[in-house]
A and B are shown apart, each in its own frame.
Chain A
Amino acid sequence: MAQQTAEWTGFNITEQELRRMRWQTRRENLGRSWYKFSRNPLSVVGGATVLIIILAAIFAPYITPYPDHATRPFTDFANASQPPSLEHWFGTDEIGRDIFSRTVFGFRFSLTMGVVVLSMVVPVGVILGLIAGYFQGSRIDTIIMRITDIFLAVPPLILALAIASVLEPNLFNSMVAVSLMWWPWYTRLVYGQATALRNEFFVSSAEVTGASTAHILFREILPNTLSPIFTKISLDMGWVIIIGASLSFVGLGVQPPKPGLGTMVASGAKYLPDQWWISLFPALAIVVLVLGFNLLGDGLRDLFAAEEI
Chain B
Amino acid sequence: MRTLTFIARRAFHAIFVLLGLSIVIFIIARIMPGDPARVAVGARAPEWVVEQLREQMHLNDPLPIQYYYWLTDALHGDFGISLVTRRNVADDIREFFPASLELAFTSLLITAVLGIGLGTLSARHKDKFIDNVVRVISYMGVVTPSFVFAILFLLLFGYVLDLFPTIGRLSEGVPRPPTVTGFMTIDSLLAGNFTALFDALHHLILPAMALAMGTMAQEARITRASMSENLTKDYIAAIRAFGVPERTVMGRFLLKPSLIATISIMGLDFAGGLANAFLVELIFVWPGLSRYGMNAILRKDLNAISAVILVLGVVFIVVNIIVDLVVARLDPRIGLRAARSD
Query: What residues of chain A have their CB less than 8 Å away from a CB belonging to chain B?
Result: 42, 146-147, 149-155, 157-159, 161-163, 165-166, 188, 238, 242, 245-246, 249-251, 269, 272-273, 283, 286-287, 290-291, 294-295
Contacts and interface: CB of A to CB of B under 8 A. Distances in A.
A294 B309 contact: no
B70 to A, nearest CB: 16
B24 interface: yes
Nearest to B310: A154
- Interface residues of chain B: helix, strand, loop or mixed (majority): helix
A104 to B, nearest CB: 19
A294 B18 CA distance: 33
- A-B pairs, top 8 by smallest CB distance, nearest first, are A150-B20, A155-B275, A290-B143, A158-B275, A153-B313, A155-B272, A291-B143, A149-B17
B32 A159 contact: no
A146 B21 contact: no
A150 B275 contact: no
A250 B294 contact: yes
Interface stretch (B46-54, B234-242, B297-305): B297-305
A152 B342 contact: yes
Given A149-B342, A287-B140, A295-B139, A154 B305 contact: no
B125 to A, nearest CB: 16
A154 B275 contact: yes
Contacts of B309: 154, 158-159, 162
A188 B176 CA distance: 46
A263 to B, nearest CB: 14
Contacts of A238: 143
Interface residues of B, number: 43
Contacts of B31: 166
B144 A250 contact: no
A245 B276 CA distance: 13
Interface string B274-298: 1110010000000000000110011
A308 B34 CA distance: 43
Interface centre among A149, A251, A287 (most CB of B within 10 A): A149
B297 A161 contact: yes
A242 B290 CA distance: 18
Given A159-B28, A162-B29, 6 more contacts: A158-B308, A159-B25, A163-B28, A250-B294, A251-B298, A294-B142
A154 B21 contact: yes
B183 interface: no
A273 B279 CA distance: 17
Interface string B302-332: 0001001100110011000000000000000
B40 interface: no
B271 interface: yes
A166 B28 contact: yes
Contacts of B308: 158
Interface in B11-36: 13, 16-18, 20-21, 24-25, 28-29, 31-33
B219 to A, nearest CB: 15
Interface centre among A152, A286, A290 (most CB of B within 10 A): A152
A182 B151 CA distance: 29
A162 B296 CA distance: 9
B294 A273 contact: no
A156 to B, nearest CB: 9
Contact of A272 (B33, B151, B293): B151
A147 B21 CA distance: 9
Given A153-B21, A294-B143, A162 B16 contact: no
Nearest to A272: B151
Nearest to A269: B151
A294 B24 contact: no
A305 B180 CA distance: 49
A279 to B, nearest CB: 9
